[in-house]
């Protein structure tokens, strides 16, 4: 492993991609995903973990929770952090593609960052015709957002705690179609089961200022149905399940969703 090797711009962009798919408490040299990336970089896991912890010092989402990163960030670190977040539409797909290239992920494969297991490449079910360049770029952004949001919620539904990854959705709080600037913002995402994602998307559920689940009157009218009681009524008033070191959903985005949900009731 290389020691004392200077970090490059391209390495830092990939490192930032991984950074946003881990919580602060996972930024250590034993984390399997960090170990896997370090091997591809030809660096020690300790070096990569330290760099990610340095990058954490710039993160406003962590500062809101009173969490500080390491103080050893370089001028290049700051420059790349600013570059990455100034234009997520360009930086995210590019960094996602670079990460896939490092791990030899074929176009028809999914690349998953699993904090407890590492970085996994698995074949994706056929999707039909060959993707165009524009669709590939869009897909890379969606892949990043899904991994970042699911991992921000520790891989479980924020309402029920369901931890079957294939049944989880990275839900946008502000809709993808109407808020392009927030499409790839992790704080615009909630990890929900497919059922709860559908209910959230249709404004049947929302969350109050304390992140507690709110059922709209339209959904309450259906509580006589056992499935509605078990899947929604049982969790009414329960606080969203978010790890202590995760980036919290943006309160402004949730307030916008809540206003629309209550207006439709």
Average pLDDT over the chain reads 94
User: Of 131-135, 191-195, 235-239, where does mean pLDDT reach its minimum?
Assistant: 131-135
pTM over 0.75? The answer is yes
Cβ-contact 61, 46 below 8 angstroms: no
Rounded to the nearest 10°, the torsion over CA 98, 101, 103, 105 is 120
Single out the residue of 146, 145, 164 nearest to residue 156, CA to CA.
164
CA–CA dist 52, 42 (Å, integer) = 16
The alpha helices in 58-172, defined as continuous H runs, are 60-64, 75-86, 88-102, 133-152
**Residue ranges per structural domain of the chain:** 1-152, 154-265
Inter-CA distances, 231 with 55, 226, 235, 265, Å: 39, 9, 7, 20
User: What count of residues does the chain have?
Assistant: 265
Per-residue pLDDT tens for 4-47?
Answer: 789 999 999 999 999 999 999 999 999 999 999 999 999 999 99
Give the Å distances, CA to CA, from 213 to 26, 50, 112, 187, 250.
27, 37, 29, 17, 15
């Amino acid at each position: 492993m290389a020691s004392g090797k200077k970090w490059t711009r391209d390495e830092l962009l990939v490192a930032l991609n991984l950074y946003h798919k881990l919580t602060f408490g996972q930024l250590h040299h034993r984390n399997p995903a960090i170990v896997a990336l370090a091997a591809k970089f030809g660096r020690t896991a300790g070096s990569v973990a330290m760099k990610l912890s340095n990058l954490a010092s710039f993160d406003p989402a962590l500062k809101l929770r009173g969490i500080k990163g390491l103080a050893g960030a370089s001028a290049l670190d700051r420059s790349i952090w600013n570059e990455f977040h100034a234009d997520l539409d360009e930086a995210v797909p590019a960094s996602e593609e670079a990460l896939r290239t490092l791990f030899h992920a074929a176009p028809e494969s999914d690349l998953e960052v699993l904090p407890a297991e590492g970085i996994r490449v698995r074949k994706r079910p056929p999707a039909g015709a060959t993707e165009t360049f524009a669709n590939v770029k869009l897909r890379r952004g969606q892949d990043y957002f899904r991994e970042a949001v699911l991992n921000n919620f520790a891989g479980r539904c924020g309402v029920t705690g369901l931890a079957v990854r294939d049944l989880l959705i990275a839900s946008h709080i502000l809709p993808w179609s109407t808020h392009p600037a927030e499409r790839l913002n992790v704080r615009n995402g909630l990890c929900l089961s497919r059922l709860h994602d559908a209910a959230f998307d249709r404004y049947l559920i929302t969350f109050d200022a304390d992140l507690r689940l709110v059922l709209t009157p339209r959904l309450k009218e259906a509580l006589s149905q056992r499935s509605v009681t078990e899947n929604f009524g049982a969790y009414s008033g329960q606080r969203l399940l978010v790890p202590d070191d995760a980036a919290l959903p943006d309160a402004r985005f949730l307030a916008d969703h809540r206003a629309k949900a209550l207006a439709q009731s």
